[in-house]
Structure 1
Amino acid sequence: MALPAMADTRRSVLDEAWGRIPHTREGQAEQGAFTQTRIERVITLIVGPGSLVLGLQAFVAAFGLGDEAAGWHTPLVLAVFVPLMAMIVACTVGRFARVFSGVFAVVFLLALALWPIATSGGPTPVPTENPWIFYLINVATVATVVAFPLSLQIAWTVAAPLLFGVVRLLQAGGRSEFFVPIALDVSFALILGSVLVTLGWMYRSIAANVDQARASAVSSYAAAAATAATEHERVAVAALMHDSVLGALLAADRATTPRERTLAVSMAREALTRLANAEKDSLEGSDEPVSALRLADDIEAAAEDLGVDLTVIRHVDEGTPHVPGRIARALVLAAMQAVANAVQHADAQGLTVQLTGYASPGSVSVRVRDTGPGFDIASIPADRLGIRGSINARLAAVGGRSEIDSHAGGTTVTLEWESGDRW
């Protein structure tokens, strides 16, 4: 099966797997964040109504006698409550929630920092009565859960209550009767804020783990389905090769004229090509000519896929003819079979690959050498097709030549093609 076909199969299987999961608008943005997207939407839906309740409490408190000096109350209330209402609406409708939540969190801290100035010269505060801005401390904390990463959420959770304690003491002039009430208020805000941030972090972590498990399961399903599709196609290819070989044999048996013999030879060569490439994913492909140097690059890339660190020695004359694509693939695959044999049987001892290109006569030669123990070619069992099928038959099918020289000092496999050869 061709590599593009394999990629298309895996892609279609993955799409089919994800298609079995019901998708809504929130879940279609990213396949790998199926649960996280929903958790984010749940968080915003909880933050919106929750902030509305606390915001109404603060808004009612703001209608009473404020602690601010003259001219500060209305601008400060508008500056805080307008971003708050925008955040509540955005969280409810599910649009721009992060933007408006972040705006409110920042505006609230700025308003809190201005509180000593805004209350300077105002009414004398009462220790048992909290100002309206106190009720929005944890609203600012939960706003950061929507808008900011975890580090900033923690920073806001700690900074907002502590800042309130400082500005409240400044407003009270540091009087001792405010120490205990302020300490209780700050402690309450810190505890509640920590709980809110922890819940947000916990649910997001669970969602991320669920998405990771789902992605792993879908990937396994896609791999299994793609493997099944590959085996199904291999069966079809095997049937096709059987028909090709049988047709070639029948044509050869019945050939009586030169034209019929030529046709039988062509059919046999086609059958040999398919048989020699049966174990590879890349069959025929394009027959566009490639340069001799490209062959060296392809051999190195294929060797890397096998885990062999190999650098092909190149000696290519200027004017070396380009090699047709079919022949180039046969040379590369045959060379890789020779490399695989050297790795398997000679532990890659002294393994070298040399590619030589000749301008006159136009030819290309690939030599694979190793310094292993060698072997007796005549003693190779008939059912071992590593040399017969993947090297000799493959080169013969495209009009090339192969030669194997093996002795106690090593093995040399020579693969040759001349531009004048018929292929």
Structure 2
Amino acid sequence: LAALLVTYVVGRSIAPAAITFCAVFVATLVAWPFVVAGQDIPPSDPPWTWFLVSVVTASSIMFLPLVWQMAWTIFVPVLFGITRLAQAGFAVDFWWPTLLDVSFAIILGGVFVTLGWMFRSIADNVDESRRTAVETYTAAAVTEAAENERVAVAALMHDSVLAALIASERAQTPREQGLAVAMAQEALTRLANAESDAGLGSDAPRRFATLVEEVERGARGLGVDLVVERAYSHDAPELPGRAANALILAAMQAIANSIEHAGGIGLTVSARQEPDTQRLHLEVQDLGDGFDLDTVPDDRLGIRGSIIARVAAVGGTVHITSDSNGTLVRLTWQGARA
């Protein structure tokens, strides 16, 4: 019994110890009538083996299936009763006390078996729920990663590859041809770095003013010499590097769309900060004929992929208004709240 308790405490070799304990106890019960033969034992004084009957039935939980646990819970008390009566020579005075002892042992053993079954069922249900939750989370994470990768690759193909091909097809002057070559080189570089996300750059914080300057340089690369209208404080909140890059690329796509579809008529870009807040806006506006976003085919990625999805992926928002008087694309980043 002491060895069995030690295995319970350390949590090792529990089943072998329980099997050994049960086997030794059954052998003790079988030998008991022969060991105490001839002794005068009163009917109301049960032997010490009776106090271990419930321990033996409870130990069966450690190594027997449920059906055999129930059988063992009946077998051991009945065996105790038989050996108890055999010890007394099956005297009539021993029948009633022994029957009470056997009944109590069976009931108590049944309680132990029921508790063991209940706790195991609860543990199995918890494990199954946890396994299902992990599988569901893993599947959702894989799906989200695949969708993000699809959006990123689609935006990359649209921004770099298709733009370079269109520029090459339309290039007429040496300057336009040189610009097309530069765009093709950039597209090849971004494709080579796509898997490692090198095109997104570092996530180190970047100043809003730096972002605005890069938009101006990018616009000049598209042949548009514009100056961004600035309306923000010198201590405007910094943006995470990936968010800043996403806003730059989205703004450049909006500028490219304006040049391609509206001829760049009335093209202006403004950068502003809402008063007394951490919210930053980067707006691209033109005076073209406008368009209806709902009628744009899903496979056209210039707006949905390269602007809306790209900004949403880094926690920003996009608001687009367009009518016959022109188009406004507003990119918004909400900084940390004070």
* TM-score scaled by length of structure 1: 0.39
When Rg is computed on C-alpha atoms for both structures, the one with the higher figure is 2
